[in-house]
Amino acid sequence: MATAHPAPRPMTPEEKKVIFASSLGTVFEWYDFYLYGALASIIAKQFFSGLDAGSAFIFALLAFAAGFIVRPFGAIFFGRLGDMIGRKYTFLITILIMGLSTFLVGILPSYATVGVAAPVILIALRLLQGLALGGEYGGAATYVAEHSPHGKRGAYTSWIQTTATLGLFLSLAVILGVRTTLGEEAFASWGWRLPFLLSIVLLGISVWIRLSMSESPAFQKMKAEGKTSKAPLTESFARWKNLKIVILALLGLTAGQAAVWYSGQFYALLFLTETLKVDGATANILVAVALMIGTPFFVVFGTLSDRIGRKPIILTGCLLAALTYFPVFGALTKAANPALAEAQAKNQVLVMADASECSFQFNPTGQVKFTSSCDIAKQVLARASVSYENVPAAAGTPATIKIGETAITSYSSKGLPADEAKKKDAEFKQAVGDALKAAGYPAKADPERIDKVMIIAIITYLVLLVTMVYGPIAAILVEMFPTRIRYTSMSLPYHIGNGWFGGLLPTSAFAIVAQTGNMYNGLWFPVVIAGATVVIGGLFIKDTKDVDIYAND
């Protein structure tokens, strides 16, 4: 409902203080959560060393994704709590769970020490982190919005939107500092634990901050009048009037927002390090610089949304992402690893194989043995981060890798004695490696040829798309639901969108790449989701910048 409002007023010093406190605590919480993602490749070696290298990395990403999968359940549990007992105490619970879980990762024994118990406990801690984060965002956004004067909700809630990026930036900065101080070997061995252990200090600061916060005025007023919801879950999800808005918020806003968010920050970083073979320290520095440049635009687009509306900014960001991701990531390859781009252009790699011999090479248990000539050929290319095209071959013929004009016939290890299989494996890898080297395929990105300025420009563009979709999202979600069930109602679509569509993006994208052989095909995941959000949001979402957030209470 649009109503007349007094002119926007500046916030009081007390309101600014509590909003600053809320945002700062949330930065620390995101720092805790994203440490794992930034260290996924090292964690794969520490906790999933019982698996082959490819499966270990994908499984490490799945453990990362586990924290996202449970976020909607955290949203339901803590959202209900926040709508019934208040925002402040819910904040305190979530930060305690998050901080302690992160600290415990830092002291968790590795797979080499305690075996399978290590990844099991790690995943349990990730689940706890996901539950805590599921209760965090809705409370922070609701809390800030309920302190904001009408006409400035986009501007003030956009500060909460910066916290995820600032938390990521803080995690990258701490990792880089420790990595540089200790050296790569010590960091990979034990130094990676220090950023996790540091979280106990941040936890102490965060708890002190949360204890100093006052309850939301809107919630205090509602509680004093006896209007708090006795059954927020029922009101939010069992009544079609509200459930319809929840579904539209998910499909028409947060799904696309999440796909753009995680593509522009996490997938871009993983693409640099895992696909383009840029060393971790350099990649972290370049992404951190881009984040520094782009982060102020969360507030820019949040403020702009108070003037022109939330919907057009969010959907424009999704549309630009869907239209430009493929050429942008192609440009990133040329800037980060030009030798790889040149080799791909000059000497295409083909895998010619009987399709019935080719498996989907995802091996989370480490028990599956890929023995066909097709699987062995693809494994060798995947380990070398080489894109290839699949070409059908006659049934029963062994797979062949063609690199430029050089053809190398693969082999089947099924039934071979161990010594003979090992010998054939070494010979085949050597032959493929020699052919790739001759065709100009690099083992790693050449530091002398990395165009750092161009990479920063490309990542900054991706971050700007993130700020477009993410800056106004808190304001529009808050404005879609009444105060009595706001925490619960807005949290679920946000965390399904970000937890499932966003959190599963790196894992899904890398699985698509592993299956198809093309290193860019993982981009279809965010492109399709962002495009669908543009269509659904454009048709069914109404803009909310002039909505009175108390009209339905």
Residue 4 lies in a domain: no
- Shared domain check, 524 and 467: yes
State residue 55's pLDDT score. Answer: 61
Residue 346 lies in a domain: yes
- Across the beta sheet with 389-392, what order do the strands follow? 389-392, 349-353, 400-403, 406-409
- Shared domain check, 371 and 228: no
- Shared domain check, 412 and 285: no
- Shared domain check, 187 and 268: yes
- Shared domain check, 196 and 124: yes
Is the pLDDT at 64 greater than 70? The verdict is: no
- Shared domain check, 393 and 366: yes
Q: Which is more confidently placed, 433 or 266? A: 433
Domain boundary among 418, 438, 458: 438
- Shared domain check, 511 and 386: no
Taking the CA of residue 438 as centre, how many other CA atoms within 13 Å lie in the half-sphere pointing to its CB?
13
pLDDT band at 367 (very low <50, low <70, confident <90, very high): very low
Q: 287 near 268, Cβ under 8 Å?
A: yes
C-alpha–C-alpha distance, residues 372 and 365, integer Å: 19
- Shared domain check, 479 and 431: no
Residue 7 lies in a domain: no
Residue 550 lies in a domain: no
C-alpha–C-alpha distance, residues 28 and 95, integer Å: 9
**305-328 per-position pLDDT tens digit:** 999 999 999 999 999 999 999 999
**153-164 per-position pLDDT tens digit:** 899 889 888 887
- Shared domain check, 207 and 105: yes
- Shared domain check, 273 and 406: no
Which H or E run contains 301? Answer: helix 296-308
State residue 139's pLDDT score. Answer: 76
Residue 197 lies in a domain: yes
Q: Which domain holds residue 289?
A: 13-337+446-540
Is the pLDDT at 104 greater than 70? The verdict is: yes
Number of domains into which the chain is organized: 2
Is the pLDDT at 59 greater than 80? The verdict is: no
Give the residue-averaged pLDDT of 430-438. 93
CA distances from 272 to 92, 335, 444, 455, 459 (A): 37, 10, 11, 10, 10
- Shared domain check, 470 and 434: no
Exposure of 459 by Cβ count < 10 A (0-12 exposed, 13-18 middle, 19+ buried)? buried
Q: 421 near 380, Cβ under 8 Å?
A: no
State residue 197's pLDDT score. Answer: 93
